[in-house]
Structure 1
């Protein structure tokens, strides 16, 4: 399913992801995380740039913007210990990235597909997550609700691509969107519900592969 270039890049990406997790987990080398974390999305942006010449210009621009805002979100979240404003900024950056992904997925949607059962499943998931978080949100209540609606919309619009794009593109993007939703859910639970064991690993593992799968999947649509 993967091309030679995708396999080669996957190895590089996994190495960078491992370095990010290590540098953010080990205090003595934590300073290197300021390089390792941005390198993850920078490498993905460069890979997309090299292999996206076949895509529609408007779609390509929206994917670039989704990746760039994701990179901005990564950078801002590295400084959350300095000020709570960095968390708000990171949240807004990722919210914007999700919106651009939603626009990309909507452009490729299957207009005959009925999303109501899947939307019901996403709503149930969202309500359960909100139930766990609601007592700890405080002033973050409305921003978190908005963010949850957008991330659930991203998963739903990824689902709506089924039948309108080649099967491999649909499956890889859909798995990526679900991984993104899981990553954000773990981050929210860890921050607002209770600290989770190995949260840094689980958040970055699901996030890294979410971005990788979404880009690989979108590149497969010709």
Structure 2
């Protein structure tokens, strides 16, 4: 069950997400996209800052850094049509964000949890995705490979929290990690493989919910 505060923020966040989905896909409203997209992460950062005052300082800093670098990546990716360098910078920002998430998740890892099954599934998934993308990556081949590795490490580290934190915290964070992988996969396929229908909507919907579930879950860990 969500608390009253969580319910209120959930409504606010979903309204902001809906506004971004509309502004990001309707041409006449596209100028508002430069406001609605950053507001998603700004709202999460403010909510986390207010609700995390009892959290261990180091963990709080790492999560804040993950959210700030995510916000930076969001802003940079809004300008990829101006110059290809913005995509590279955005990729770096999200890479750093995932590193901080990994640090947070590993801090609460359960040494008794065996991730071998998940690793096998993710390995097949990563090779399949890379096979589809590799011919169109060009100079981004190495950066994309490292990015795939870090986001897979992020989802594995989220899985390792099982039975070490509360069930709600584990489920929310793991769902968020899966949604993050889905969002990045759609983005990569749309950019480097073939244009996908409704890609802007599916990318932002899964990304927004991913960040929301991760933050909500981390706030619920002991």
- Report the TM-score, using the length of structure 2 for normalisation: 0.98
The whole-number CA distance in structure 2 between the counterparts of 1:26 and 1:182 is: 23
CA deviations over 1:14-72 (Å, ceiling 9, x no partner) = 11111111111112121111111100100010100111012110000000000000000
**In structure 2, distance between residues paired with 1:124 and 1:4:** 41
Encode CA deviations 1:164-212: one digit per residue, 9 max, x unaligned.
1111100110000000010000000000000000000100000000000
> Partner of 1:166 in structure 2?
166
Q: Provide the C-alpha distance between the structure 1 equivalents of 2:185 and 2:2, rounded to a whole number of angstroms.
A: 28
CA contact (8 A) 2:165 2:221 kept: yes
| CA–CA distance in structure 2, aligned partners of residues 109 and 217 of structure 1 | 15
Distance in 2 between residues matched to 1:166 and 1:81, nearest whole Å = 43
**Unaligned ranges ≥5, structure 1:** none
Deviation, 1:120, is 1.0
Equivalent residues in 2 for 1:98-109 (5 A)?
A: 98-109=98-109
> Structure 2: where are the runs of 5+ without partners?
none
> How far apart are the structure 2 equivalents of 1:85 and 1:14?
31
Q: How much has 1:125 moved relative to structure 2?
A: 0.8
User: What's the counterpart of residue 59 of structure 2?
Assistant: 59
Match of 1:208 in 2: 208
> Counterpart of 1:128?
128
* CA RMSD between the two structures: 0.7
Q: Does the 8 A contact of 2:24 with 2:201 survive in 1?
A: no
Q: Does the residue aligned with 1:210 lie in a helix, a strand or coil?
A: helix
Name the CA distance, whole Å, in 1 between partners of 2:190 and 2:199: 7
The Cα shift of 1:114 comes to: 1.7
Cα distance in 1, alignment partners of residues 127 and 41 from structure 2: 31
The separation in 1 between residues aligned to 2:76 and 2:64, in whole angstroms, is 18
1:97 aligns with 2:97: yes
User: 1-side partners of 2:3 and 2:150: how far apart?
Assistant: 32
Query: 2:33 aligned with 1:33, yes or no?
Result: yes
Question: SS in structure 2 opposite 1:156?
Answer: helix
Could you tell me which residue of structure 2 aligns to residue 7 of structure 1?
7
